[in-house]
Amino acid sequence: MYAYDEYDQTFVEERVAQFRDQVRRRLSGELSETEFKPLRLTNGLYLQLHAYMLRVAIPYGTLSTRQLRRLGHIARKYDRGFGHFTTRQNIQFHWIKLEQTPDILAELAEVQMHGLQTSGNCIRNVTADQWAGVAADEIEDPRIWSEIIRQWSTLHPEFTFLPRKFKIAVTGSPNDRAAVKVHDIGLRMHKNDKGEIGFEVMVGGGLGRTPIIAKTIRDFLPKQHLLSYLEAILRVYNQFGRRDNIYKARIKILVHELGAARMAELVEAEWQQIKDGPLALSPDTVARIAAHFAPPAYADSPTFTPEFDALRLENAEFRRWLKANVAAHKRPGHAIVTVSLKPEGGVPGDMTADQMDAVADLADLHGMGEVRVTHSQNLVLPHIRRADLPALWRRLSELNLATSNINLVTDIIACPGLDYCALANARSIPVAQRITEKFNDLARVHDIGELKIKISGCINACGHHHVGHIGILGVDKNGEEFYQVTLGGSEELSASLGAIIGPALPADRIVDAVGNLVDTYVALRQDGERFLDTYRRVGIAPFKERLYAPA
Amino acid sequence: MPLLKNGAVAADPWHKIVNGEALPPDGPVILPFERWRAERETLLGRNTPLGVRLSNTHSVAELEPDLDRLEVIELEFPKFTDGRAYSQARLLRERYGYKHELRAVGNVLHDQLLFMQRCGFDAFEMEKADPVTAWQAGTSAFSVFYQPTGDGRAPVERRRAAGAKAV
Amino acid sequence: MIKSKNLEGTQAVTANRLRDGAVVFLTATGTWSRHINDSAIARTADEAAALLAIGTQAAADRVVVEPYLFEVTAEGGAIQPVSTRERIRAFGPSVEEQRPLETAS
């Protein structure tokens, strides 16, 4: 894991002192709300429905157990005993007091964390594959490059007042787990014909009210040019991105209006001017960062033990958990375990302070002290000894964190929605809760197979509904909550946007509608087909016909 | 409006020409870019200091031929959230090598001074009771910088590399 | 921020308190309460404008942030917001009954 050096630590402490002064100036009247708002936003502090909300960055989703415990401590001391993991590898606390925020940020700084650039029209917290460094299919560890980007983007003087927010995602594997094609910049590591590793650079993806899949503007960027190329893209965007209309200000609209070819020309022309300048990455720099991400000292561990074998034979729930929540690790005798934050009836992504402490203990005991946060609002223990899986499973079950549903129908992504968010038009969380209650038979959930439901409470699409196999968007119709359903979205490298199935449904019909869509799929599926495969084969018509059939 | 240079309030000898205004016979003047472009030949013949105010939708490349002659360039922040002039400033300093005064005008606030300075501004028109205090607090908030820009501050990576060699 | 000009009928003024962000309601004596039942009620456009003016002044005085009018019903002594959004603001998230609204000062 990356560990701050004296410079990083000094910086984050200076940042806390600066914000403390800004809060003081706001409370004393020196700063108006209009002037203060962008300053608090760049520290992750929003004003939401019930209180201030603090969004803490978890850069590329990597957490130490010390950091996780500190998040639990913040939840307990300054909030209501829980936190909410978001779809961008951040955590949010919903009930924060402005006057306590400097103290909270100081406590976070002690464990090398902050809320920097989790909001505002700047380069946001960079996201990456949650299996970085351990995935069996990985070409290169994306955390090295994510950390390099994190440092370069931290309080970038030129790019802190962009036309709109700016999100970058990195994947180092052919199987994209970072949704790179729906980011402002998506970076995919791959090998060229000569066997060198570099980046495919994609620009202008995004969800929100105008969902667009990113376009590739460079097939292969040598690694040492990463920062100069990003700076060139940002400079083009800062100068030419639209500022006349907030809904047209994202880079995706610029790319759309210019065309990807013209965008590529502008970026390349700018890049030629700066590529061999001070942003060129020296091998020493890369080596210094990469050293932080060296594999931990794995001990030899057997792939199977008698206890493991016995439990697997006798316990169907353990078998289901192994199948859904445990993935192959690149080191023999080890496994990647996903901790489900999607229990039946639960709030997707919510975790209590006690659960945070307990998972930190488990990660210390069984998993090299490391935890990851996923964009689908779960946690990952990336280095678990296989021999420890039975003990880990038992303890996670006691904590209600072992629901065997990863990537299945109840592993629902949901934004906070109208229960918390000032922008929302409809609630998201209760819809997710009712769906998980409807599908509470895990044997059936496993039979249904991979199915990603994503729920957003408004058009801003924090719940990524456009790329849900089943997407649900909350809308307001004359003061009533309605839900629009889309089918066939996907965030993988074969990314697609969902198609609207028909008129929006009232709140009391949405859960049954999901049941109806699942039943239609089960009736139509052929051998081994996932929901998405069946949908792509048969199209939307059979689903629509059954969903809107007269009762 | 107070003009801040080198961390202190400075006298401003420059007269800003507004649209349609006749030029005074002598004395330093700052012209809107359109006026500069229209009357460039005549203006270059003047024997007095010249400056240009460039809006943030113009390319700084248009001033390239005259950068030696211009002694002030004003770049605009119509709102403090409109950050186009940061890019203009860096290009003027780092690409075109502009050496004279680069002045930030418009909505220039305490908490943006450091960003402006890092991008190459060295003069600031600030509507503020106590701009000197704002300057000191705003520009000394950080001692660590992650990006190489033209302001001369050593970015972290250079300091790390130097530290690694020293060990 | 909710646009208040098109609202009709009975209204009250709400905001978030600057220091802690708590949801508060403007009372008849010009103070702010955590409880919607303490709200001053406006029944005409003039009354609404007068209430909002008090709220706007309180924002200028750094007591609250973003005050606005919202529609309520006031029957049988109980003041109830009309919209789902304002019900959630007044009574807390609909999903977490075990996390009751704090009844701070």
In this complex, is the C-beta atom of A7 within 8 Å of any C-beta atom belonging to chain B?
yes
pLDDT tens digit string along A230-270? Answer: 999 999 999 999 999 999 999 999 999 999 999 999 999 99
In this complex, is the C-beta atom of B84 within 8 Å of any C-beta atom belonging to chain A?
yes
Residue A464 has pLDDT above 70, yes or no: yes
pLDDT at res. C8:
59
Q: What is the mean pLDDT of chain B?
A: 94
Residue of B nearest to A163 (CA): B82
Contacts 24+ apart (CB under 8 A), A531-534: A531/A448, A531/A449, A531/A450, A531/A451, A531/A469, A531/A470, A532/A450, A532/A469, A532/A488, A532/A490
Q: Report the C-alpha gap between A213 and A180 in whole angstroms.
A: 9
Read off the amino acid at residue B51. Answer: G
Q: What is the mean pLDDT of chain A?
A: 96
Q: Which residue in A28, A33, A117, A155 has the most chain B C-beta atoms within 10 A of its own C-beta, making it the best mutation to test that interface?
A: A155
Q: Report the C-alpha gap between B90 and B75 in whole angstroms.
A: 11
Interface contact flag, A157 B149, Cβ < 8 Å: yes
Residue C24 domain-assigned? yes
Q: Which residue in C84, C91, C94, C97 has the most chain A C-beta atoms within 10 A of its own C-beta, making it the best mutation to test that interface?
A: C84
Residue C47 domain-assigned? yes
Structure tokens at B152: 């001369």
pLDDT at res. C98:
43
Read off the amino acid at residue A187. Answer: L
Minimal Cβ distance to A157: which of B115, B159, B160: B115
pLDDT at res. A83:
96
Chains with 3+ CB–CB pairs under 8 A to A are B, C
Mean pLDDT of A151-160: 97
Indicate the CATH number for domain B3-166.
3.20.20
pLDDT at res. C105:
36
**pLDDT over 90, % of chain A:** 94
Could you give phi then psi for residue A203, rounded to 5 degrees? -135, 145
Read off the amino acid at residue C5. Answer: K
pLDDT at res. A485:
98
A134-291 and A413-547 share one CATH topology?
Answer: yes
Residue B167 has pLDDT above 80, yes or no: no
Q: Report the C-alpha gap between A3 and A212 in whole angstroms.
A: 36
Nearest to A324 by CA among A396, A403, A425, A252: A403
Instruction: Name the DSSP letter for residue A73.
Output: H
Judge whether A469 and A532 are in contact, CB under 8 Å.
Answer: yes
Residue C96: pLDDT band (50, 70, 90) is: low
Judge whether B134 and B126 are in contact, CB under 8 Å.
Answer: yes
Q: Determine the 3-state secondary structure of A526 from DSSP.
A: coil
State which residues form the domain around C29. Answer: 11-91
DSSP letter string, A368-398:
TTEEEE-TTS-EEEEEEEGGGHHHHHHHHHH
Structure tokens at A33: 């709300």
pLDDT at res. B40:
94
Residue A399 has pLDDT above 50, yes or no: yes
Judge whether B57 and B84 are in contact, CB under 8 Å.
Answer: yes
ipTM value, please give it.
0.96
CATH 3.40.1190.20 at A413-547, yes or no: no
Interface contact flag, A157 B159, Cβ < 8 Å: no
Q: Which of residues 17-56 of B touch A (CB under 8 A)?
A: none
Structure tokens at B19: 């649209």
pLDDT tens digit string along A308-351? Answer: 999 999 999 999 999 999 999 999 999 999 999 999 999 999 99
Mean pLDDT of B146-154: 94
Interface contact flag, A33 C59, Cβ < 8 Å: yes
**Topology of the domain covering A134-291:** Sulfite Reductase Hemoprotein; domain 1 (3.30.413)
pLDDT at res. A324:
98
Could you give phi then psi for residue B120, rounded to 5 degrees? 115, -5
Residues near A164 by Cβ (< 8 Å), separated by ≥ 6? A121, A241, A246, A249, A250, A251
Could you give phi then psi for residue A470, rounded to 5 degrees? -115, 120
Judge whether A225 and A275 are in contact, CB under 8 Å.
Answer: yes
Judge whether A522 and A538 are in contact, CB under 8 Å.
Answer: no
Mean pLDDT of B148-156: 94
Q: Report the C-alpha gap between A457 and C85 in whole angstroms.
A: 12
Per CB-CB distance under 8 Å, the chain A contacts of B116 are 157
Please state the domain count of chain C: 1
Looking up tokens 């409809």, which residue turns up?
A426
In this complex, is the C-beta atom of A162 within 8 Å of any C-beta atom belonging to chain B?
yes
User: In chain B, which residue ranges form alpha helices assigned H by DSSP?
Assistant: 33-38, 40-44, 84-90, 113-119, 131-139, 156-166
Residue C99 domain-assigned? no
Residue of A nearest to B96 (CA): A273
pLDDT tens digit string along B70-107? Answer: 999 999 999 999 999 999 999 999 999 999 999 999 99
Mean pLDDT of A528-545: 97
Interface contact flag, A419 C89, Cβ < 8 Å: no
Residue of A nearest to C100 (CA): A80
Residue A5 has pLDDT above 60, yes or no: yes
Cβ-based burial of B142 (10 A; exposed 0-12, middle 13-18, buried ≥19): middle
Residue C55: pLDDT band (50, 70, 90) is: very high
Structure tokens at A503: 């008129």
Interface contact flag, A161 B80, Cβ < 8 Å: yes
Structure tokens at B63: 């001033």
pLDDT tens digit string along A291-304? Answer: 999 999 998 888 88
Residue B59 has pLDDT above 50, yes or no: yes
In this complex, is the C-beta atom of B142 within 8 Å of any C-beta atom belonging to chain A?
yes
Residue A546 has pLDDT above 50, yes or no: yes
Q: What is the mean pLDDT of chain C?
A: 86
pLDDT at res. B166:
63
Q: Report the C-alpha gap between A250 and A184 in whole angstroms.
A: 8
CA distance B161 to chain A (A): 8
Residue C63 domain-assigned? yes
Residue C99 has pLDDT above 60, yes or no: no
Judge whether A493 and A499 are in contact, CB under 8 Å.
Answer: no
Instruction: Provide residues of C within 8 Å CB-CB of chain A.
Output: 16, 18-23, 59, 62, 65-66, 82-85, 88-89, 92-96, 99
Interface contact flag, A17 B161, Cβ < 8 Å: no
Residue B23 has pLDDT above 50, yes or no: yes
pLDDT at res. B163:
84
CA dihedral sign of residues A240, A246, A252, A258: negative
CB atoms inside a 10 Å sphere around CB B159: 16
Instruction: Provide residues of A within 8 Å CB-CB of chain C.
Output: 26-27, 29, 33, 47-52, 80-82, 96-99, 347, 418-420, 424, 426-427, 429-430, 433, 479, 481
Looking up tokens 């472009």, which residue turns up?
B37
Least confident of A439-443, A542-546, B20-24, B145-149: B20-24
Q: Report the C-alpha gap between A414 and A455 in whole angstroms.
A: 5
Cβ-based burial of B66 (10 A; exposed 0-12, middle 13-18, buried ≥19): middle
Residue A49 has pLDDT above 80, yes or no: yes
CATH 3.90.480.20 at A6-110, yes or no: yes
Residues near A282 by Cβ (< 8 Å), separated by ≥ 6? A224, B161
Q: What CATH class does A306-398 carry?
A: alpha beta
Structure tokens at A404: 């065997």
Interface contact flag, A433 C95, Cβ < 8 Å: yes
CB atoms inside a 10 Å sphere around CB A189: 23
Structure tokens at A369: 């002290």
Length of chain B: 167
Structure tokens at A459: 């058009």
pLDDT tens digit string along A158-210? Answer: 999 999 999 999 999 998 989 999 999 999 999 999 999 999 999 999 999 89
